[in-house]
Amino acid sequence: MKIFFKISLAIIALLLIAIIGFAIVFDPNDYKDDVIKIVKDKTGRELSIPGDISLSLFPWIGIDLGAIEISNAKGFAKKPFAKMKHLQVRAKLWPLLKQQLEADTIVIEGLKLNLAKNKQGISNWDDLTKTTSKTRAATKTKEKAPSKTGNKKESLQNILGAIALNGLQIKNAQFNWHDQQTKQKITVKNVNLSIGELRPEIKIPFTTQFQLEEKTIKAKVNFKSNIVFSTDFQQFSFYDTRLSSDLKLASLKSGLSPQLSSALMQLNLKKQTFTTKKLNLSEGELKLETQLFVSKLFSAPHLKGQLTLATFNPRELAQRFAIKLPDMADKKALTKVNAQLNINGTLNKLGLPKIKITLDDSHLNGDATIKLTPGSSTVKLAIGTINVDRYLPKPASDKEKAAKSKNRKKQPAKTNEAILIPVGLLTAINVDADFKINKIQIKKTHWSNFHVSIHSKNGLIQIKPLTMSGYEAKVKTDIKLRVIKNNAFLSGNLNIQKIKAGKLLNDLIGKDKLKGQTTITASFNTSGIKLSQLKQNLNGKLKLYLKDGTIKGFDLEHQKNVLDAKLNSKPEPKAPTPVETKIARLSASAIIKKGILSNKDLRAATPLARVIGQGTVDIAKEKLNYTASVKFTSATNIKNNTPFEKMNSIPLDIKITGTFDKPIIKPDFGKVLSHLLKKELKKQETKIKDKVKKDIQKELEKKLGNELKNLFKF
């Protein structure tokens, strides 16, 4: 046994002497030209090795390669395709003799790779891949058929069992990309990568940092994780994963700092599953927590999980990114948002059950299904209470309106009117939506049981029904919108039965102008994508009925008293308080054609008068041109069903002109006085004619009597 031991030591000593002697005698730099020639013959590229090549044989067998670069493909820039400052690869000698590989950390320093594509779509590595393909094809013809009893999994496990790699380090690498077809340039620089000892079933530290630069984005990225993989390379676990970055986008003045963290993520290639119990994403105060399970990962991914968006302030977020929000009446509006979404489905059909969203003091709940393939998505949402006025601009005061109107007159009219109907967006939306709101305030009006159902497909949007309750009535409407090319065609119907219009107007405009039950039915159609176009192209029909009403701000009886005073040359009486006109009933119908509303049949009854009216309303220009004719009488001489035409009195015309904002109501007393004067003149003329006739008759009788007396004288 001692002899065998001594012989073994002698053999090892001789082997070491041989290795040392080989290392002293052999100089790999003497073979640079041979390597350069081989690369030239195989690839057609020029290889340059200005740095030194050194070998180590014991206890590590390895190579240290200095500076090296390879030329670019023909037709591309003269800068090298790739170059590197230093490469170090080493393995322990003694395990190699046992057919095992124990490699030291592979170190790559100063790697620079220039990738490009020309205007014809040819890349500067196409020639290398073609050469490699030919070499592989030639090699395959020489290889023997693989053994049918071979087991790929066992081979992989055997290889992994025979290999031990202490890690990989890439230092100060850079990758450049230039696409001449799209004129895109991307640079990934200062790339540093570190991977710990590569062994199955242990945590392997993985870290990388790099900078990315492109015309529209600049980014600094740091990533680290501890990776565990199984011996069959089918299962991967990622522990304590962290990603931090700093982004600068050309479209944003402020930079971004998105972060990602996860305690554990698991990937199973065999089962095609991915699991994370807590994946956190954040950007400033935006924080999203995700729980996710993905099955059928490579065939038909199915997602199941939950997304939780922590409370944040949208106003502060907008301010950070220099985004100007629309003016809002309430400065505290849009200051609190949070959400929770459950997800369940595939990428083509993703279900979002049990949606919960909080917007300030409003809470939204519902379900949705999002379809990316042809078909309609579905959305069903309900809101408890919302005050829309908080998110609308603050109403202008009378002074502000006057100043704005004055400035508008001085300045030339603007031609760049905003588009009201986004044609492109509506064409792309295919959805069936159902929205319910328990209580809603909008434009100071209050409604309950708001419900709207929307069906949108291929540019056809149908809103039916749209209903809501308020002011002791129920409003029903339906709307159809069809988008064709760059135009939109809108039609619909409106039905409002016995609404308290006075309360509605009082809330809407802040002025108590009307009381009574009002019924309105209408149908309309129009076309255009701007508000002015929709007004100009408006057509339709309208019917209005008012019962037991009161019009405030205008006293018809007072106008009668003013008229009587003028007729009797008496002082004009003072206006009573309150100034209002009682209306027992009012009805009217109208036809709208190209933005002009025409009415010819208005009829109204008051306790002391009957009214008829006709005229036009220019909806596009917001101008009024209307005349109401009033006949007065006493309460004792009028019956409830007495029509205007059967009343024996002179009508008083009331002219309504001006604009929607500033209507002008002016009684035409002059016409009444003129009519009365003509009537009086005619009456006086008749009296005069009768008197003259009598006088002539008397004169004739007198003359005739005298003649008869003379005739019979004796």
Q: Among the listed ranges 114-128, 403-417, 561-575, 621-635, which one has the minimum average pLDDT value?
A: 403-417
Residues 514 and 550: their CA atoms lie apart, in Å, by: 6
- pTM score, two decimals? 0.74
**Predicted local confidence at residue 711, as pLDDT:** 44
Domain presence at residue 178: no
Residue 96 confidence (pLDDT): 58
3-state secondary structure of 143: coil
pLDDT at 94: 62
Q: Is residue 489 part of a domain?
A: yes
Q: Is 388 exposed, middle or buried (0-12, 13-18, 19+ CB in 10 A)?
A: middle
Which range has the worst mean pLDDT, 28-32, 276-280, 312-316, 678-682? Answer: 678-682
**489 and 543 assigned to the same domain:** yes
Q: Which stretches of 372-457 are assigned E, i.e. beta strand?
A: 377-387, 431-442, 445-457
Rg (CA), the chain: 47
% of the chain beyond a pLDDT of 70:
77
Rounded distance between C-alpha atoms, residue 580 and residue 91, angstroms: 105
What pLDDT does residue 41 have?
86
| Whether pLDDT at 658 is above 60 | yes
Q: Name the least confident of 125-139, 331-345, 681-695.
A: 681-695
CA–CA gap between residue 582 and residue 558 (Å, rounded): 12
Residues 608, 708, single domain; the answer is: no
Q: Average pLDDT, stretch 335-341?
A: 96
Are 313 and 338 spatial neighbours (Cβ–Cβ below 8 Å)? no
One domain for residues 508 and 633: yes
Q: Is the dihedral of CA 438, 442, 446, 449 positive or negative?
A: negative
In this structure, the answer to whether residues 350 and 479 fall within a common structural domain is no
Question: Does 693 lie in the same domain as 659?
Answer: no
* Both tokens assigned to 375: 């078909």
Residue 548 falls inside a structural domain: yes
String of DSSP letters for 315-373? HHHHHHTT--PPP-S-TTTT--EEEEEEEEEESSEEEEEEEEEEETTEEEEEEEEEE-S
Give the mean pLDDT of 685-707: 55
Torsion of CA 223, 224, 225, 227, to 10 degrees: 90
Nearest to 590 by CA among 515, 538, 667: 538
In this predicted structure, what is the pLDDT of residue 26? 57
- Which tens digit of pLDDT belongs to each residue from 285-295? 899 999 999 99
- Residue 277 near residue 289 (C-beta atoms within 8 A): no
Q: How many whole angstroms separate alpha carbon 664 and alpha carbon 659?
A: 8
Give 188-218 pLDDT, tens digit per residue.
Answer: 999 999 999 888 899 999 999 999 999 999 9
For residue 499, what are its two tokens? 């609404």
634 — pLDDT class (breaks 50, 70, 90): low
For residue 428, pLDDT over 70 is answered with: yes
- Average pLDDT of the residues in 596-623: 90
Q: Please name the helix (run of DSSP H) or strand (run of DSSP E) that holds residue 629, with its range, or none.
A: strand 623-632
Query: Does 371 lie in the same domain as 336?
Result: yes
Distance CA 323, CA 364 (A): 25
Nearest to 35 by CA among 63, 1, 6, 75: 63
* 137-141, 298-302, 492-496, 499-503, range with the lowest pLDDT: 137-141
3-state secondary structure of 417: coil
Q: Specify whether 639 is located in the same domain as 706.
A: no
* Mean pLDDT, rounded, for 522-534: 94
In a domain, 43, yes or no: no
Inter-residue contact 220 to 204 (CB < 8 Å): no
Whole-Å CA distances, 339 to 323, 332, 377 = 22, 19, 20
What angle in degrees, to the nearest 10, is found between the helix axes of 669-711 and 556-567?
A: 40
The helix/strand/coil state of 592 is strand
pLDDT surpasses 50 at 2:
no
Query: Which of 394, 429, 450 delimits the end of a domain?
Result: 394
Domain identity same for 536 and 622: yes
Sign of the torsion angle spanned by Cα atoms 491, 497, 502, 504? negative
Query: 25: Cβ–Cβ under 8 A, 6 or more apart, which residues?
Result: none
Which of these three, 394, 422, 448, is where a domain ends? 394
Do the domain assignments include residue 140?
A: no
Per-residue pLDDT, 251: 81
Q: Is residue 517 part of a domain?
A: yes
Residues 6+ apart with CB under 8 A from 130: none
Residue 700 is part of which domain span?
A: 678-714
| Structure confidence at residue 712 (pLDDT) | 41
Q: Is residue 702 part of a domain?
A: yes
Residue 591 has pLDDT above 90, yes or no: yes
Tokens 């994370």 correspond to what residue? 276
**Residue where a domain stops, chosen among 394, 416, 435:** 394
pLDDT at residue 88 above 90? Answer: no
State the pLDDT at residue 646: 79
Which one, of 356, 362, 359, 355, lies nearest residue 385 by Cα? 362
Mean pLDDT of the chain: 82
Residues 478 and 543 in one domain: yes
pLDDT for 80: 93
Is residue 668 domain-shared with residue 695, that is, in the same domain?
no
Q: Are residues 471 and 547 in the same domain?
A: yes
- What pLDDT is attached to residue 466? 94
Q: Please state, in angstroms and rounded to a whole number, the distance separating the CA atoms of residues 385 and 62.
A: 74
**Structure tokens that stand for 496 in this block:** 């409002």
Residue 183 vs residue 632, higher pLDDT:
183
User: How many structural domains comprise the chain?
Assistant: 3
CA-CA-CA-CA torsion for 258, 263, 267, 268, nearest 10 degrees? -170
pLDDT over threshold 70, residue 708: no
User: Residue 700 falls within a domain, yes or no?
Assistant: yes
Looking at the fold, whether 483 and 549 belong to one and the same domain comes out as yes
Pairing mode of beta strands 487-500, 514-527: antiparallel
